[in-house]
Chains A and B, each alone.
Chain A
């Protein structure tokens, strides 16, 4: 988009404090606090350690995938097959269970299937140079399709007792294993994206893949690793959700891919690539959890909640644009 007005060139950069105060993350914190206050006022059951703990189950599984998806989107790619990977991984875990697998093997299968699916996506995109959005629409049907071929309208049940820990266990007081894992993964991904040369490469690729390649970044390899990481996190999410539900159906995690992408975009990651932060994604995950849980306490049906999530997604992106236009007009 070109504008007619001459570009305003500041004579100095904003101070770190000023840029922190006016950052996307700060906006998200304000939104989260506002929703938190509204929830506390509207429901007497909200401000309670166990309620708040339950709340986190709304976003930890999707949040884990969103961390990897954020990197993928920053690098200019996307993976729509994450929910289908969960379905396939969970189905194969169920098959292994039927064959007598114990808990460590089940976890290994879940994570292994995730990695394989991610590698398949990565190979199609990087080796054959295909657009990731279409490739993953295809693999999304393929992966879930295989789950349907194996399971049909059946379900796997009867996961072992100690397997239930991953999705239902607590590491101490009200802190669940899922939340701990999510926060630990968030730290790892924050370090990877914001503190390593790999992370710089991810940003570089998203901003200009050609220039990155000429600067010595191995573009295809970085993208392949990102697809692998997204597959890995989907595999981990498959273990958690299978453990939490205690059963596998081929329709498991249906529609998760859209919620994960909503989380990433809400977190300030540019859907066109090149910009974003892990802190934003983590805050967006909490906001999505707060909104759905708060509305749930008010007995709002799930499908009506989705209206709020959709509005939130569009509003959070549209409002800054409208605001900056408004300021431009006044200036």
Chain B
């Protein structure tokens, strides 16, 4: 089973390499290391978000509120920065992660304590968080000239030739890899998704595991809130509107099964990278950016077809709908 899972990431990596090669055939500049690194940098936020979404989807849940959480947290830190420029940026990042975690915990608590289906909860909080962003800001924008120098400069600061933004993504990948493969929480997340009934008998609190997964997705959404605002240097109510579907798309393309329990950090990261490469390649090969939506839609459908074939071979479910 592990070899099979490994296989899927290898295939995805091959697909990405093929994609880059095809583009490079016509436009060699695209495949230069420098350009590929900048594509990675552009995709960093999507990668970070996809990792959080993956944790939630693994527990048979879904978080539709991530983009709204990002907008709210981003607005909160931008306004804090505009009002109190003397607060160090590191503290603002901690604040962003705390606010994001709190919003994620709200989702998680509704799922855990009241047993409301995650899709309903996060459908509700999707609109509530974005509405709250409007209430918080009064509909006003926070512009570049209102933000402090340090606030804007941090994701652009280069360390070892890579911008901090890329390092954030790399750190998130490393942290999630350790979390998912080396900790009890990571194993519980897989167990709760692959077979909730067996997980309960194994002494895992499935509800609590879901709650913690939502806290994780909230935390990365909050972190991404700061990263997004400081990268695009504008905070408005419309930030990342509709982005929740790109995040889910990255997971699906990365082989994370919507039925829970199947998926990996490498897969989610590569899925995000795949979308990122398509997005940055279109202008290079002179295709109108209006094609992007249709292409990523086709990629999702193709990925689901391939996922379904891969999952069918395992024959893992015996007591599918025993009491969950």
Task: Establish whether residues B139 and A301, one from each chain, have CB atoms under 8 Å apart when the complex forms.
Answer: yes
* Nearest CB in chain B: distance from A292 CB, A: 12
- Residues of chain B within 8 A (CB-CB) of A139 are 297, 301
Is B130 an interface position by the 8 A CB rule?
Answer: yes
Contact across chains for A303 and B305 when beta carbons are under 8 A apart: no
Q: Are A141 and B124 in contact (CB under 8 A)?
A: no
Closest beta carbon of chain B to A279's beta carbon, Å: 20
Query: With A137-B249, A145-B295, A301-B134 given, is the CB distance from A310 to B128 under 8 Å?
Result: yes
Cβ–Cβ contact A314 & B258, under 8 A = no
Chain A, range 134-151, C-beta contacts under 8 Å to B: 134-135, 137-146, 148-149
Asked if A307 and B132 make an inter-chain contact with CB atoms under 8 angstroms apart, the answer reads: yes
A residues less than 8 Å from B115 (CB atoms): 1, 321
Bound form: Cα–Cα A133–B62 in Å:
11
Q: Are A304 and B134 in contact (CB under 8 A)?
A: yes
Known: A129-B308, A152-B288, A261-B123. A137 touches B245 (CB 8 A): yes
> Which A-chain residue is minimally distant from B302 (CB atoms)?
A138
**Distance of A125 from chain B, by nearest CB (Å):** 10
B294 close to chain A: CB less than 8 A: yes
CB distance from B8 to the nearest CB of A (A): 16
Q: Are A134 and B116 in contact (CB under 8 A)?
A: no
A306 within 8 A of partner (CB)? yes
CB distance from A40 to the nearest CB of B (A): 25
Known: A124-B301, A149-B291, A310-B126. A303 touches B131 (CB 8 A): yes
Give the contacting residue for B123; candidates A130, A137, A146, A258; CB below 8 A. A258
- Chain B positions within 8 Å of A146 at CB level: 294
Instruction: List residues of chain B with CB within 8 A of the CB of A140.
Output: 245, 297
Given A139-B301, A321-B114, are A2 and B323 also a contact pair (CB < 8 Å)? yes
Contacting pair A137 B134 (CB below 8 A): no
Contact B120–A313 (Cβ < 8 Å): yes
Whether B298 and A142, one on each chain, are in contact in the complex, defined by CB atoms closer than 8 angstroms, is: yes
CB of B77 within 8 Å of the partner chain: no
CB within 8 Å of A: which of B131-176?
Answer: 131-132, 134-135, 139
Asked if A265 is at the interface of the complex by the 8 Å CB criterion, the answer is: yes
Interface flag for A309 (CB, 8 Å): yes
Q: Is A95 an interface residue (CB 8 A)?
A: no
Docked CA distance A156–B323 (Å): 52
Q: Are A318 and B128 in contact (CB under 8 A)?
A: no
Closest to A318 in B: B114
Q: How far is the CA of A143 from the CA of B293 in the complex (A)?
A: 9
**B124 and A313 contacting across the interface, CB-CB below 8 Å:** yes
A20 part of interface (Cβ distance < 8 Å) = no
- Which bucket holds chain B's interface residue count? 35 or more
> If the complex has contacts A133-B258, A140-B245, A318-B114, are A145 and B292 also in contact, measured as CB distance less than 8 A?
yes
Given contacts A139-B297, A258-B127, contact A149 B288 (CB under 8 A): yes
List of B residues within 8 angstroms of A272 by Cβ: 117
* Complex: chain B residue closest to A138, CB-CB: B300
Given contacts A148-B294, A149-B290, contact A142 B301 (CB under 8 A): yes
**What is the bound-complex CA distance between A254 and B238, given in angstroms?**
13
Taken together as a complex, chains A and B put the C-alpha atoms of A312 and B280 apart, in Å, by 40
A329 to B294, CA, bound (A): 53
Report how many residues on chain A are interfacial, defined by Cβ distance under 8 Å.
47
A148 to B116, CA, bound (A): 36
> Measured between alpha carbons, how far is A128 from B115 in the docked complex, in Å?
31
Residue among A134, A301, A304, A311 making CB contact with B304, cutoff 8 Å: A134
Q: A137-B252, A317-B116, A322-B114 are in contact. Are A131 and B295 (CB under 8 A)?
A: no
Q: A243-281 toward B: CB 8 Å interface, digit per residue (1/0)?
A: 000000010001100100110010000011000000000
A149, A305, A313: the one within 8 Å of B294 (CB): A149
Tell me whether A307 and B128 are in contact (CB under 8 A): yes
B83 in the interface (beta carbon within 8 A): no
Cross-chain contact A311 with B298 (CB below 8 angstroms): no
Closest residue of B by beta carbon distance from A145: B294
Most chain B Cβ neighbours within 10 Å, of A143, A250, A306? A306
The answer to whether B290 and A152 touch across the interface, beta carbons within 8 angstroms, is yes
Give residues in B with beta carbon < 8 Å to A.
62, 110, 114-117, 119-121, 123-128, 130-132, 134-135, 139, 237, 242, 245, 248-249, 252, 258-259, 288, 290-301, 304-305, 308, 323
Q: Can you list 22 contacts pairing A with B, beta carbon distance less than 8 Å?
A: A129-B308, A134-B304, A137-B252, A138-B249, A138-B252, A138-B298, A141-B245, A141-B297, A142-B298, A145-B293, A145-B297, A152-B288, A301-B139, A304-B134, A307-B132, A310-B124, A310-B125, A310-B126, A310-B128, A311-B124, A311-B128, A314-B125
A residues with CB within 8 A of B: 1-2, 124, 128-131, 133-135, 137-146, 148-149, 152, 250, 254-255, 258, 261-262, 265, 271-272, 301, 303-307, 309-311, 313-314, 317-318, 321-322
Q: A145-B294, A307-B135 are known contacts; what are 19 more A-B pairs with Cβ within 8 Å?
A: A1-B115, A1-B323, A128-B308, A135-B301, A138-B301, A144-B293, A145-B291, A148-B291, A258-B127, A265-B120, A271-B120, A301-B139, A303-B134, A307-B131, A307-B132, A313-B124, A314-B120, A314-B125, A321-B116
